[in-house]
Amino acid sequence: MPRAVLVLLLVFLGCADEDAMVQRPQRSAAGQAVNNALGEKTGVVHDVQMVGDVSTGFRFEPSELTIKVGDTVRWVNASGFPHNVAFYADSIPNGANVIIDAVMPADNKLGPMIGRIMSESGETFEMDFLSAPSGTYRYFSAPQEASGMLGTLIVELQ
């Protein structure tokens, strides 16, 4: 092919409407799962109630919850007693501490992987589990840890 024709062909292709020339593939369910594992929000929000008092004991309801990577967990202080969400450093998947600390802004936590105290009924604390490693996350409420206010979060891939 003569060089001038090749140059003209390349110029023409470069100016053509790319969308008309290239059919974009649709995202499969597997592709969506990979994107969620890489950090897309699913839009699913799970509520965990922080309930109890000194006579009935303190607890998370549910105390165990299974979610997908990309889901959000919202802890709700339903009792009006001081509560927070704190994760055990030795009971989370490898690398999860970086994700947890990233979603707990400095002004919204007491220390590494320790959320702020919520003392008013109706106060909430939310965490998006974007890019979270799958596995089991054990957590507690620092003011009631000694009385057994413990929770387990199981994060699964899509």
With respect to residue 32, please indicate whether it lies within any of the assigned structural domains.
Answer: no
With respect to residue 36, please indicate whether it lies within any of the assigned structural domains.
Answer: no
Taking only the tens place, the pLDDT of each residue in 102-157 is 888 777 789 999 999 999 999 999 999 988 999 999 999 999 999 999 999 999 99
With respect to residue 67, please indicate whether it lies within any of the assigned structural domains.
Answer: yes
Q: Rounded mean pLDDT of the chain? A: 80
Residue tagged 């994107």 (tokens): 35
Structural domain boundaries, residue 84 = 42-156
Q: What is the pLDDT of residue 106?
A: 78
Task: Please tell me the total count of domains within the chain.
Answer: 1
CA angle 53, 57, 60 (to 5 degrees): 95
Distance between CA atoms of residues 75 and 33, nearest Å:
25
With respect to residue 69, please indicate whether it lies within any of the assigned structural domains.
Answer: yes
With respect to residue 30, please indicate whether it lies within any of the assigned structural domains.
Answer: no
Distance between CA atoms of residues 88 and 57, nearest Å:
21
With respect to residue 79, please indicate whether it lies within any of the assigned structural domains.
Answer: yes
CATH of the domain at 87: 2.60.40.420
With respect to residue 17, please indicate whether it lies within any of the assigned structural domains.
Answer: no
